[in-house]
Amino acid sequence: MSNNILKLAKEFISIKSIPENPGELEKILELALVNLKEYTIEKFERNGIKSALIYNSKKRPKKFKILLNGHLDVIPGKEHQYVPKIRGNRLYGVGSMDMKSNVACLIAVFRDVADRVSYPIGLQLVTDEQVGGFDGTKYQIEKGVKADFVIAGEPTNFDIVNKAKGILWLKIYTNGKSAHSAYPWKGENAIWKMNEFLNSIKKKYPNPEQEKWVTTINLSRIETANQVFNKIPDNCSVNLDVRYIPEEAGVILKSIKDLLPKEFKLEIIAKESALATSGNNEYLKILQKAGERIMKKKIYSRGAQGSSDARHFMQVNCAGIEFGPIGDDSGSDNEWVDILSLEKYYQILKTFLLSI
């Protein structure tokens, strides 16, 4: 089984399935589906983004008991990284860790257990997770796809990620009064006004010096229409990328609004749910037990700084987690996955699915 997983993972890595390459995204999805043609395959498409749902029944159930979720798109890398390489026990290449090798495992375990379990199980394969998952996973959810428990095969080094930060993208605007810069008392500088607000944001949400389970705010852009040196700018806007912890989901927006001066305006560009599944969830506990049985060590649950498509299921009250094999350097020039851990990952998922 491990040889088949490795072979498919290498085939996936060789396909340049980046957001700017719709033809390659379609190609890799079709390659995955070739390995699943004996099952029911339901295809979806929105805004040119294609995804698929595979299940072990002729008709899609109202609700899956377990849904495995994987994405086949990757963060772009350098050309040589699309040629998979093995060094020691590591497989190198774009998406080797995030998450083409993981998807190869999901396909293998689905094929192995789909006809052996009596409950409805599904495999969700998408091609737009790296750009938000709005036309893949989220679109399928809008079309009625639900589950009791969702496992997104993200790389987690065998931890169970049951919490992840939500995303809030904001644009803040303010105006001032223009004047010649030699006579600043005749104008009102919109950038200086914005700077005072930004200082209050930074004071309330300081950047942590190391990884910490707190809400963070990144100032990603400052704009003004002014293009010259000798004029006081009368407008300014900023883009803020807020990554909020689930515990602050209900208060984060109000907290920021409370810092805004009255004449400022706020526009919500995007608001995505945080992932928050109880550590006492029955399926999480079964997965944890299966992992400890195979790995012969304690499997921990934890929170994650980044987000995944699992968050979309929170909006329809479906419990979800992230769980994947060992690897590192996602998005870098040296992304890798531990080959031996792929077999362990397959065995854990198989044990879990057959234990329900």
Domains and CATH numbers, the chain: 2-164+274-355 (3.40.630.10), 166-272 (3.30.70.360)
pLDDT at 12: 98
For the chain (356 residues), the mean pLDDT of every run of 10, in chain order, is 91 97 98 98 98 98 98 96 97 98 98 98 98 96 98 97 96 98 98 98 97 97 98 98 96 98 96 95 98 98 94 96 96 96 98 97
203 Cβ neighbours under 8 A, 6+ residues apart: none
Predicted pLDDT of residue 225:
98
What was the pLDDT predicted at 2? 78
Which of 262-269's residues contact partners 24+ apart within 8 Å by CB, and which partners?
Answer: 263/174, 263/175, 264/172, 264/173, 264/174, 264/197, 265/172, 265/173, 265/174, 266/170, 266/171, 266/172, 266/173, 267/170, 267/171, 267/172, 267/173, 268/168, 268/169, 268/170, 269/169, 269/170, 269/171, 269/239
pLDDT of residue 331: 87
pLDDT score for 1: 60
